[in-house]
Amino acid sequence: MEDQICLRTGVERCNKRQKIDYKLEESKERSSRHWTIRTYLIATCQHVDVWFKETKKKGLPTLNQWIGSLLAT
């Protein structure tokens, strides 16, 4: 039961972020194609945000550092 509650609150936070932070509800798109593309791009942005936070928290190299190390070899 606790897993379901955690999952639900996580989904609600995700939905809030899409609707409010990324202004999904304010979009003027009417076609389902534009709505789908916008939702996909917002989900990608959310993933990148979390990826950067985890990278910073764990002290992992940033993307620029990683690419620089690849180019240096």
pLDDT digits (tens, 9 = 90+) for 6-16: 767 877 877 78
Residue 11 has a pLDDT of 76
Place of tokens 């690419």: 67
**Over the stretch 52-64, which tens digit does the pLDDT of each residue have?**
888 888 887 777 8
Residue 70 has a pLDDT of 85
Q: State which amino acid sits at residue 9.
A: T
- Would you say residue 43 has pLDDT above 80? yes
pTM (2 d.p.): 0.61
Task: Using pLDDT thresholds of 50, 70 and 90, give the confidence band for residue 3.
Answer: low
Cα separation of 20 and 57, whole Å?
Answer: 25
The per-residue DSSP string of the chain comes to: -HHHHHHHHHHHHHHHIIIIIS-STT----SHHHHHHHHHHHHHHHHHHHHHHHHHHHTPPPHHHHHHHHHH-
